[in-house]
Amino acid sequence: MSNSSRITVAFGDGIGPEIMTSTLEIMKAAGARLECDVIEIGEKVYKSGHSSGIAPESWDILRRNKIFLKAPITTPQGGGFKSLNVTIRKGLGLYANVRPNLSYAPIVKCIHPKMDLVIVRENEEDLYAGIEHRQSEDVYQCLKILSRPGTEKIIRYAFEYAKRNGRKKVTCLSKDNIMKLTDGMFHKVFDEVAKEYPGIETDHKIIDIGAAFVAERPQIFDVIVTLNLYGDIISDIAAQVSGSVGLASSANIGDHGAMFEAIHGSAPDIAGKDIANPSGLLLSAVDMLVHLGQGDVATKIHNAWLKTMEDGVHTGDIYDPTISQQKVGTQGFTQSVIQRLGQKPEKMKPVNYQAGAGPLVIQLKSQYKESKKVFKGIDIFIADKSRNAEKLANGLNQVKHENLKLKMITNRGVKVWPEGLPETFCTDHFRTRWMWAGNEANAQSLTTVYEFISKVSAQGFDVIKTENLYSFDGLDQYSLGQGE
């Protein structure tokens, strides 16, 4: 049996204090071995001038305790406030977001009674890196950053999660038919890691049809692993169609900490009325206890909760006179779960978490050898008010360089020179691609190229950014223009 763990607890806003009190009460009654440090987060903290919703001294507690049980908070209206969740995820390096989506039919009505899937979403990279720029009158950009180690880690996490929890299949969702380098790498790493888990069935689907299937036939999925943005979207679709948004838990896992919370918000409309359902937070606390190596207590609570639900003791949000036996408030529900500690459900499948299992620790295994990286050319992005590719090409070709040749110009990724199509709509944002035509490029080549860019700029062209073009081990690692 593991020793007591020290965790950080935040009661949050709205219904937060009620559902957290309920969760702590049930954990205490079940014998959870916990000591709690309480921190203040949310609306009050935002309004006292901390733009991220958390005070610096609370950070010290979070870092020291590493495990955070968080109630929902209210995000104040108006600009200037940063998302607390994003701040905590990035601050603690919580790279995996794990969201089980389960139907509780026939206890809770659900259009997909056989749904039982877990979404493992990458949490730190992708478009959420938050690197955005406005580059011209017409164009804004947001960079999609994916790293190979970050990808390997989330994929290994999904497989290890499947293995530990007796899950049979892992499905990767990506858009590698369009984003061949970024999503292509995600899919490739998935295939590589999958070979190490021969007992687990694997599948890959394009995210659009994958999302449609999550909505329409979720029973075909078991564990899903995907990129940050896709995961964000399908997590909400899955929660919605499971019919159990108020019951769903979420874990954010990292090497240096973990955060557990319900997926719903602070529900200010019902705050302080003793009607909120504490189940989402309680099930998150169950995940936390497993993570802390207290699988025995987690099992006891989860089974008592299932038995309460199965006995038809329901809060207002899921109460249905044709199914439920008794309508209770937050406290009534809490006491009903406590009364059933030690009991198991009879109609629903009981859970049995391994005692002392602890957190899933993921080691990167791939050998990252140094590739042969060759400089092939450069994309020079130019803002041009004429919005005319032919005119731009003529102007640029006046700026001579013996080793750099203008190969093509694209507008929003579509080739517009040479020989573009008249139908292509042009903005003021052009990518001009210059290939190195001299002897094999060397360390000095880049300096030469930058001198050339200065020359282009001095001629009055509005250079807004550049992107170096490389091959790695002989493979060109940059996208072609559409129509090239």
> Which residues are at the interface with ligand NAD (CB under 6 A)?
15, 72-75, 85, 246, 261, 264-270, 276-277, 280, 317
CA dihedral 258, 146, 466, 463 (to 10 degrees): -60
Burial class (CB in 10 A: 0-12, 13-18, 19+), 8: buried
Q: How many Cβ atoms sit within 10 Å of the Cβ of residue 53?
A: 27
CB of 316 to ligand NAD, least distance (A): 7
Complex with ligand NAD: residue 46 or 190, whichever CB lies closer: 46
CB of 415 to ligand NAD, least distance (A): 43
CB of 83 to ligand NAD, least distance (A): 9
CB 389 within 8 A of CB 417: yes
Check whether the bond before 418 is cis (ω within 30° of 0).
Answer: yes
129: left (phi over 0), alpha (psi -120 to 50) or beta: alpha
Complex with ligand NAD: residue 19 or 378, whichever CB lies closer: 19
Q: What DSSP string runs through 217-229?
A: -GGG-SEEEE-HH
What's the rounded Cα separation, in Å, for the pair 261 and 257?
A: 14
What's the rounded Cα separation, in Å, for the pair 97 and 261?
A: 11
Complex with ligand NAD: residue 246 or 481, whichever CB lies closer: 246
CB of 268 to ligand NAD, least distance (A): 6
CB of 277 to ligand NAD, least distance (A): 4
Complex with ligand NAD: residue 37 or 317, whichever CB lies closer: 317
Place of tokens 């899933």: 360
CB of 284 to ligand NAD, least distance (A): 11
Complex with ligand NAD: residue 265 or 312, whichever CB lies closer: 265
Q: On the CB side of 79, how many CA atoms lie within 13 Å of its CA? A: 0
Complex with ligand NAD: residue 81 or 197, whichever CB lies closer: 81
CB of 107 to ligand NAD, least distance (A): 16
CB of 330 to ligand NAD, least distance (A): 8
- Give residue 392's identity as a one-letter amino acid code: L
DSSP β-ladder status, 223-226 and 116-122: parallel
Complex with ligand NAD: residue 268 or 418, whichever CB lies closer: 268
Structure tokens at 126: 């992708």
> Rounded to the nearest 10 degrees, what angle do helices 228-242 and 207-216 cross at?
10
Complex with ligand NAD: residue 74 or 410, whichever CB lies closer: 74
Q: For 441-449, which contacts have Cβ atoms below 8 Å and span 24 or more sequence positions?
A: 441/374, 441/375, 441/376, 445/375, 445/403, 446/375, 448/403, 449/378, 449/404
Complex with ligand NAD: residue 246 or 295, whichever CB lies closer: 246
Q: Which residue is nearest to ligand NAD (CB)?
A: 265
Burial class (CB in 10 A: 0-12, 13-18, 19+), 48: exposed
CB of 472 to ligand NAD, least distance (A): 40
Q: How many Cβ atoms sit within 10 Å of the Cβ of residue 155?
A: 25
CB of 264 to ligand NAD, least distance (A): 3
Check whether the bond before 17 is cis (ω within 30° of 0).
Answer: no
Complex with ligand NAD: residue 18 or 152, whichever CB lies closer: 18
